[in-house]
Structure 1
């Protein structure tokens, strides 16, 4: 599977299949042909005309699609291939989810990583180093505020290490999240109207970008989880709920700070408030010009995920790759999923096979 993000955001777009190639017809333009094996995912806004054989071939090739509503009402829909046949790992997952001890250990691992990455992001924002992507965005004006926020995050991380229940871990994670978004509300320019995290619908451009970017990252998590054979609805920190894929939200947690960093870069370097539309019912959403910029930058970022997100020597069970530019969002998620499954208890069949052999 390739890495191109195909964006379909106009009702007059027509997409057909020509063998193993997508033919995309846009009004007033020559047809565009994209080999399916070069497509990483498809993002749809509204109701372009896509033939059924296109969806079938994308699913056969394991290419996921995200379908956003045209006017912002309702959540995204997901299309793609189904779960792998590695049922043993799902049995181990269900067994672990039923154990308060295992669930607490996994929740502790995930939130410890999230808090650690938030601390790293704060450190980068305060450095005056032009060689780093995030450095110098706000360095001069935020040092004191960042120090206070960093102290809260460190205390939360220490408390998570000592926590004996998922409820306690959730509480410390919530305290850290409140401190983080309060920090952002203090450092972002007034033109962005950011006063804290809100959603459904997001009431300002920054929250609109956060929600969209979390959704895009979640699509990557979903693909990795399905390939690994895990049950996306059975989580450890997020409780089961009708209509919620709890495991995906669990795995997303350590990725959120790096996504936040991506959003900070966008609003500092690429986007302005004029790239958004706003309404009471639909909230703040990127307009067509904004979407073109956003998906171009997201396509680049998912293939060049920041090395600071995952310190392999400290956080993971294998050394860092020789060239850290090889880190992609998908490889980062694979590493998190691998370490989570490493905490799961064994599940052995009567024939002696365990889930690790799947």
Structure 2
């Protein structure tokens, strides 16, 4: 299976259009990029980006997703062609979503994957820290997450699972700020996780990268023919891609590492 690329168009006032079998990106009538369509799996546009109608039709025909986000990275719209997969697969998904035991098992696995990966982030930070007090805080956070992993098999209902996940998230984000290098902490302070809206720079970065991750998870789900709206951990409600949110939980720690690396390497500043 070929792994295709996602093209992110972030330059304001860009214009993307079809040029034979190639997507062309123009800024102020100057060509900035050409990408063959067969290399693309998705196109994500941020803010004020214009898209030609012929390109929209071609993307739909080729099964290439077109995603529109606002300037802050919040989801606006999505254009896709015919849905792949068969109805029997979706019927099975819907049936299993109504099976409490199966749904609980999937939700438990989603949370276990998330907590395990978050714990590895803290353990790595503890090993690499040159400040003993900070290394101890990170190690203590990792120990708390290990306790959550041990408690997960005993959770017998979704609310208990979500309570364990919420407490683990609180402990994890309380320690995460110690992974930002000392010289960057004044500009990238973090007092726990907050969103809608994020109240500090690092939370804004996390929300932004999570939105990209969620889009990739949703694309993967739809490519297999599953219904992204029917999840097992996140509560189903109109307009919410619950299964995509379920799937991305295990990968959030990788997004966190990306944000931390961008800050600590000085690749992004205040």
Contact 1:82–1:226 (CA under 8 A) maintained in structure 2: no
Cα shift at 1:22: 1.4
Contact 2:85 2:226 in 1 (8 A): no
In 2, are the aligned partners of 1:205 and 1:273 still within 8 Å (CA)?
no
C-alpha deviation, 1:83, in angstroms: 2.8
For residue 111 of structure 2, what is the aligned residue in structure 1?
111
Does the aligned pair in 2 maintain the 1:10–1:47 contact within 8 Å?
yes
Match of 1:219 in 2: 215
Aligned to 1:291: none
TM-aligned CA deviation for residue 30 of structure 1 = 4.1
Task: Name 1:36's counterpart in structure 2.
Answer: 37
The aligned counterpart of 1:200 is: 196
Q: 1:175 aligns with which of 150, 167, 177?
A: 167
Call closer, same or farther: CA 1:4–1:250 in 2, change over 3 Å. Answer: closer
Do residues 159 (structure 1) and 159 (structure 2) align? no
Alignment correspondent of 2:236: 240
Gaps of at least 5 residues in structure 2 are: none
**1:74 offset after TM fit, Å?**
5.7
After superposition, the Cα gap between the structure-2 partners of 1:139 and 1:98, relative to the gap in structure 1 and judged at 3 Å, is farther
Give the CA deviation at 1:62.
2.5
Q: Which whole-Å CA distance do the structure 2 matches of 1:81 and 1:39 have between them?
A: 15
- Identify the residue that residue 340 of structure 1 maps to in structure 2: none
Alignment partners' CA distance in 1, 2:153 and 2:256? 24
- Structure whose residues are more often strand by fraction: 2
Moved over 6 A (4+): none
Corresponding residue number in structure 2 for 1:130: none
- What does residue range 269-308 of structure 1 map to in structure 2 within 5 Å? 269-274=265-270
**Pairing 1:191–2:187 present:** yes
Distance 2:230 2:250 in 1: 18
Q: Which residue of 2 aligns with 1:85?
A: 85
Contact 1:84–1:227 (CA<8 Å) still a contact in 2? yes
Deviation string, structure 1 residues 40-59 (Cα, Å, up to 9, x no partner): 43221222221111122122
Q: Per the alignment, in what secondary structure is the counterpart of residue 227 of structure 2?
A: coil
Q: Which residue of 1 aligns with 2:11?
A: 9
Cα displacement (A) at 1:31? 5.3
SS of equivalent residue, structure 1 residue 192: coil
Q: 1:75 to 1:5 in 2, by over 3 A?
A: closer
Structure 1: gaps spanning 5 or more residues: 128-135, 275-358
Number of positions where the alignment pairs a residue of Structure 1 with one of Structure 2: 263
**Within 2, Cα distance between the matches of 1:31 and 1:122?**
40
Q: What is residue 144 of structure 1 aligned with on the other side?
A: 136
TM-score, structure 2 length as denominator?
0.89
Name the residue aligned to 1:131.
none
Does residue 23 (structure 1) correspond to residue 24 (structure 2)? The answer is yes
> What corresponds to 1:289 in structure 2?
none
Q: TM-score, normalised by structure 1?
A: 0.68
1:204-235 Cα distance to aligned partner (Å, 9 max, x none): 21111111111111111111111111111111
Task: Give deviations 1:72-96, integer Å, cap 9, x for gaps.
Answer: 4964423334431322221111111
Q: Which residue of 1 aligns with 2:254?
A: 258
Answer whether contact 1:152 1:179 (CA < 8 A) is retained.
yes
Change (3 A) 1:123 1:82: farther
CA distance in 1, matches of 2:205, 2:118: 18
Match of 1:66 in 2: 67
CA RMSD of the aligned region, Å?
A: 2.1
Q: Contact between 1:83 and 1:230, CA under 8 Å: does it hold in 2? A: no
Offset of 1:273 from its aligned partner? 3.5
